[in-house]
Chain A
């Protein structure tokens, strides 16, 4: 991805030199033309076309904000309810993600999800230990984490 982005900047600068106008407007025109060229030659690169990955990152950020708001509503309900009806506990979640930054992003996402908080990570980075504020929901939470967050993060790193 970084290589394609750098190449795109390089093509934009070539456009500025070709048209002998060094303004941000001509930079943007060159950037868009370079984007078209990279799209046309996408089968020569090893990775995917990099705009797909940019899109995946944006959708991950939107997911992050949505989960933050949902988490706040659920914590609000748990606190304001007159009787404390919570069953806390710690459960283990096996993860398939490999590299350190993927696991960091996953742990941050889980911490901001409704009712879950990462307490520890096993030494081989395969299991996350998660404190849940309401254990009967834990199985559902595992499935949700598996289906949405891991998939979104894999979409970025693939």
Chain B
């Protein structure tokens, strides 16, 4: 096995893995019960899925065509930074506009936030 074969195996693995993770994200969005648990699936699996597809694309163009595309690397970094923030903002907006947690949720510490803040202010 020479190096180019190994690299193309890595590229194939990355692309398939990314596509598989995106599929799992779609399943998670359908199966999970409420906004917050769906957000878990959307903000994690989709991030790594898109990142590994981009990394596979980058490696493909670099090894097959000798074309170093730094835009793809920048895109990976941007997705890595912004995806968790987007997940946080969506779930925060959902909580403050009164979306209920799932019935089987066991604990809700955020409910007591208002009381805590008043205690801390006084």
Contact = CB atoms under 8 A, between A and B. Distances in A.
Q: Do A and B bind each other?
A: yes
Interface of A: 64, 68-69, 71-72, 75-76, 78-80, 84, 86-92, 107-108, 111-112, 115, 117-120, 122-124, 127, 129, 131, 133, 135, 138
Contacts of A80: 24, 27
A88 B110 contact: no
- The list of the 9 closest CB pairs from A to B, nearest first, reads A89-B107, A111-B84, A92-B109, A79-B28, A89-B106, A129-B110, A135-B106, A108-B84, A131-B36
A94 to B, nearest CB: 11
Interface of B: 21, 24, 27-28, 31-34, 36-37, 39-41, 43-45, 47-48, 80-81, 84-85, 87-88, 91-92, 95-96, 101-102, 104-110, 113, 116-117, 120
Secondary structure of the A side of the interface? mixed
B110 A119 contact: yes
Contact of A117 (B36, B81, B113, B116): B36
24 contacts: A68-B80, A72-B45, A78-B28, A79-B31, A84-B32, A86-B37, A88-B34, A88-B106, A89-B106, A89-B107, A90-B101, A90-B105, A90-B107, A90-B109, A108-B84, A111-B87, A117-B43, A120-B92, A120-B110, A123-B117, A124-B120, A129-B110, A129-B113, A131-B40
A140 to B, nearest CB: 15
B24 A90 contact: no
A51 B40 CA distance: 36
Given A79-B28, A131-B36, 7 more contacts: A75-B24, A84-B32, A107-B88, A108-B84, A120-B113, A131-B91, A135-B105
A112 B47 contact: yes
A72 B105 contact: no
A69 B37 CA distance: 18
Interface of B is mostly: helix
A68 B120 CA distance: 35
A87 B41 CA distance: 15
Contacts of B87: 111, 117
Nearest to B48: A72
Contacts of A71: 44
Contacts of A138: 107
Nearest to A135: B106
A87 B37 contact: no
Nearest to B49: A72
Given A90-B110, A120-B110, A133 B91 contact: no
A80 B23 CA distance: 11
B10 to A, nearest CB: 15
Given A90-B108, A107-B88, A120-B95, A84 B33 contact: yes
